[in-house]
Amino acid sequence: MNILYSAAPGATVPSATTTTGSGWSFIFLLVMLFAMFYFLIILPQRRREKQFQQMISQLKRGDTVITVGGIVGKVIDIKKDTVKIKTAMTTELEITKRAIASVFKEREEEKEQEKQD
């Protein structure tokens, strides 16, 4: 079965479009998408991770910490992956270092108390 197309006399048949231009624009779009993804998601996450590692490496006995669960305690012992904190007069908890949300240094608290006196 043959299909014949008819056109008006003198009409030109549209030729196939080249894909080189659209190929480069697609690659450019992918590069821009990756760049946005990197600067909006990956780079800030790396900065937060670096700050967290620095905070954990400077952790010492006597510092007051707040866990991700909201527990406040004073550091009494530091091990490789865990920290033992004292939360009340006799309550001691052993938590992972990853569970620490923020650290308050002992020296800062003493300076604040001296200013109040």
For residue 77, the model assigns a pLDDT of 94
Residue 30 Cα distances to 34, 39, 44, angstroms: 6, 14, 21
Contacts of residue 93, Cβ cutoff 8 Å, sequence gap at least 6:
71, 73, 84, 85, 87
pLDDT (tens digit, 9 = 90+) per residue, 60-95? 999 999 999 999 999 999 999 999 999 988 899 999
pLDDT (tens digit, 9 = 90+) per residue, 9-43? 666 656 555 555 688 899 999 999 999 999 999 99
Cβ atoms within 10 A of the Cβ of 63, count?
22
Residue 115: pLDDT band with limits 50, 70, 90: low
pTM value is 0.62
